[in-house]
Structure 1
């Protein structure tokens, strides 16, 4: 299990991005609810 393909790197990058976006949207939702 040596080299990592570009596809695998891309998948991981996209997942990280989605998690970050979900986290940001959750935080902004909480901010809106507080107002």
Structure 2
């Protein structure tokens, strides 16, 4: 059960990381378009 808990935390962490990267790229792309 502890393994499943750890695995869940890793999934949440990676989803958060990918979301941050996606937002960063989106902002950079919009910045290039609008400036």
Alignment TM class, shorter chain as reference: 0.7 to 0.9
TM-score, with length taken from structure 2: 0.76
Number of equivalent positions: 33
- The structure where helix makes up a greater share of residues is 2
TM-score, with length taken from structure 1: 0.76
Structure 1 unaligned blocks of 5 or more: none
Q: Which runs of 4+ in 1 moved over 4 A?
A: none
Structure 2 unaligned blocks of 5 or more: none
